Structure formats: structure tokens, C-alpha cells
Amino acid sequence: MEFFFFERITSSLDTLATKVQFPPMSSENELNPTPAGPKPWIDAGRKRVTAEDVARIAGVSRSAVSRAYTKGAYLSLEKRRRIHDAAEALGYRPNALAAGFNSNRSNLVAIVTGNLNNHYDGVFTAELVTRLNGLGKLPVVIGRTTDNIGDSEILEVLDYPLDALVIRAGSVKAETVEKCLRLQVPVIVSGRILAVGNVDCLCCDNHAGMEMAVAEFARSGRQRIGYLGGHPELSAEQERCAGFVAAMQKRHLEPVVMEHADFSFEGGYTTGTKILQGSDRPDAILCGNDAMALGVMNVARETLGLDVPGDLAIIGFDDIELACWPCFDLSTIRNPIDVTIDGIVSLLESRFADPARHGETIRIAPEFIPRSTH
């Protein structure tokens, strides 16, 4: 059998843009050969190639094409080869969403993330996407470069046939989550505990983390301890701030200063300047995340010439990658990303296995990472 460039006489596809060896076909599938020549570029304006197109070219049924792309489905090797050759020639790819409808699984998992400019949230989202991809899921990321995600943005993604929704944004309203549940979309909330329906939640034990940090300051003899937190409306900040206050009260200590910024390096630098240039300068600052702690460290060392930790001890929270760089070597509380993502995957699998089960809450244990700044 000769190789040819072929041109199909149908309304659904203009040009067959490659040469493929095919076995004899019935008359209804015959093609008109065109002169050999350079391979033409695919017309960007044409419709997507369908399984019906592949079936016509390969001389098989539409269901045979479906079986060729269904794991474990029986199909003779000869038919499978003809189908794959035709698909390659036509530029065909199976419609994953359509296949999902047939199996009641779209594999779409939406991720509503926090501030993507926040180093921790950015890395967390990237690693979660990678993990979901490895499980054959198709992540849809909804995020901003601010800390507030609008409820309308979350509800819009519900127009898609989601298998699940993972929420990382700490400002999402409980009412919005309830709307998701009414649409039978499983919801996992990471970084916040929500007592709503059958929602699964997992969150770092922020109180325990703050207890560890204050205990380290007290152990090293620090008495004039200040606190720099993030946006007060965010759930993680509310827990960390409350944990700090409780740990101080436990030791009969009063905070020298309590300020809030925006969980950014710039916020830590600006608010840290205000704190350290004040009349009642602390000898230790506990920061609500590492980015702000690095900002405080920068103003202390580079702008004010203070020794860290001699004049000022600093502890952060999260243990981002920058924290262990030799130029920072920041003591911090680790909020483990790998353990949290393991928990998300476990909750997803449990929810898929039993959609009606009660919601589960997991508290992730933090860990104090001692370096040179405390």
C-alpha cells in the first residue's frame, strides 16, 4: 500500500494533514488522493476533530474509537493500530471531559488559593497542582495577588463539572461554602476550620506553634516581646494572634507591642521600622509569617544597625525556603506543606469513596526550627 496525502470530502474536516498507511476501507470511507507535496499547516479555524472523524478514516465504529482510549477495554491490536494511526493523522485527542461524564468523574479539581505573591501560598499551590496531576486530576486554579478572593469568582467555577473544590483562601465566607455543598461538590478547606455541613478541613495547629515560639523567647530570657501579625480578618492570623496572647498570659507576660501588616516582606519592613524606632523597643519580635520576619530582620540589621539576635531576637512562621538561606538563617515555626498536601489527598480519596460521610478535621502539628535569629 502506498503512502498518500489525503483530502477528506466531508463538512467536518477540511484537510487531512499527514500521510498514513491504512488498510482497505469500505466505499463510504474512501478518500480522494491529492498530489504529494509539503505538509500543510492545520487550519486554525476548523472545528475540533471528533471521534466520529477518526472512526470514518479508520473504518471502524465510534464505539471502537472509545474503547481504544479506555484503559482495560478490549479491542483487537489491528483495530487499535488503525485508530491510533488515524488519530495521529487527524490531530485527534480524546475529550477528557466527555469521558468523565461517562464515568461520573470529570477529574477537575478547583483550587481557590490565597495570595499568590505570598511565598508560602505560591509554593503550596504549585506543589498541590503537581500532586493532583500525578493522580490524574486536572487542577483549575483560582487566585489573585491579594488576600481577598471574591465569592463570585468561586461560584463561577461551579459552572464546571468539578469532582472537588479545595479552598486555601482564609477569607472565604461560610455561606459560599454552603452553596458549593448544595451543588453536591465536595469541599476541602485548608488553613482554616469551618463547621459547615460535610466539609473536610485541615489546618496547622497555630496555637501550638505560637506556644513553641513564645516558650523559646522565654527560655532565652526575653521579656520585652512584641508581635507582628497579618491581616486581622484572615483566619490564620486570628488563630496565631490568639495563640500568641494565650502563650504570653500563661507566662504572665504583657506584649510590648502588637501590630499588623499584610504578610509581605514590604509590610514587615515598613511596620518593623515603626516598631523598632518607637520609644518602647522590644527585645524580641514574633512574626505571623516568615516574609514579615525577613522584612523586620532587614530593617533591624541594615537600616538600624542592630545585632540579631543580640539586640533583637526574631522568630517567623511557615519555614519558607528563604528562611534557611545562610544570609537569613531565620528561626521559625514550620507549617509543613508536604504533610498538609498528604492530608488533602487523603481527604479527597476518602470523600470520593464515601460522599455522604461526616466532615473530618485534621490539625497539622507544627515544628520549631531553631536557627540563628533567636
Q: 67, 94, 121: which is the final residue of a domain?
A: 94
**What cell numbers appear for 244 in the block?**
500568641
Tens place of pLDDT for every residue, the chain, 374 residues? 333 333 333 333 333 434 444 445 444 444 444 444 444 444 545 677 888 999 999 999 999 998 888 878 889 999 999 999 998 888 888 766 555 555 567 889 999 887 778 899 989 999 999 999 999 899 998 876 665 666 677 778 888 888 999 988 666 777 878 888 888 889 999 998 888 888 999 999 999 999 999 999 999 999 999 999 999 988 899 999 999 999 999 999 999 999 999 999 999 999 999 999 988 999 999 999 999 999 999 999 999 999 999 999 999 999 999 999 999 999 999 999 999 999 999 999 999 999 889 999 999 999 999 999 99
Verify that 155 and 51 share a domain, yes or no.
Answer: no
C-beta contacts of 138-142 below 8 A and 24+ residues apart:
138/96, 138/106, 138/107, 138/108, 138/109, 139/109, 139/110, 139/111, 140/108, 140/109, 140/110, 140/111, 141/110, 141/111, 141/113, 142/110, 142/111, 142/112, 142/113
User: Do the domain assignments include residue 126?
Assistant: yes
**What cell numbers appear for 234 in the block?**
484572615
Verify that 216 and 330 share a domain, yes or no.
Answer: yes
* Overall number of domains in the chain: 3
Verify that 240 and 321 share a domain, yes or no.
Answer: yes
Q: 41, 69, 94: which is the final residue of a domain?
A: 94
State the CATH number of the domain containing residue 54.
1.10.260.40
Verify that 210 and 312 share a domain, yes or no.
Answer: yes
C-beta contacts of 279-283 below 8 A and 24+ residues apart:
280/224, 280/256, 281/224, 281/256, 282/224, 282/225, 282/226, 282/256, 282/257, 282/312, 283/222, 283/223, 283/224, 283/225, 283/311, 283/312, 283/313
Q: 45, 63, 94: which is the final residue of a domain?
A: 94
User: Do the domain assignments include residue 372?
Assistant: no
Alpha-carbon span 56 to 62, nearest angstrom: 8
Length of the chain: 374
Alpha-carbon span 70 to 253, nearest angstrom: 65
Domain range enclosing 162: 105-204+338-365
Verify that 14 and 162 share a domain, yes or no.
Answer: no
Taking residue 349's Cβ as centre, other Cβ atoms within 10 Å add up to 11
User: Where is 363: in which H helix or E strand?
Assistant: strand 361-364
User: Do the domain assignments include residue 119?
Assistant: yes
User: Do the domain assignments include residue 371?
Assistant: no
User: Do the domain assignments include residue 71?
Assistant: yes
Verify that 275 and 312 share a domain, yes or no.
Answer: yes
Q: Three-class SS of residue 256? A: coil
Tell me if the pTM is above 0.85.
Answer: no
User: Do the domain assignments include residue 99?
Assistant: no
Verify that 155 and 109 share a domain, yes or no.
Answer: yes
State the CATH number of the domain containing residue 280.
3.40.50.2300
Verify that 342 and 200 share a domain, yes or no.
Answer: yes
User: Do the domain assignments include residue 55?
Assistant: yes
Verify that 326 and 229 share a domain, yes or no.
Answer: yes
Verify that 216 and 306 share a domain, yes or no.
Answer: yes
User: Do the domain assignments include residue 70?
Assistant: yes
331-334 and 367-369: which strand pairing? antiparallel
Q: Three-class SS of residue 274? A: helix
Verify that 80 and 124 share a domain, yes or no.
Answer: no
Alpha-carbon span 132 to 361, nearest angstrom: 21
Verify that 214 and 328 share a domain, yes or no.
Answer: yes
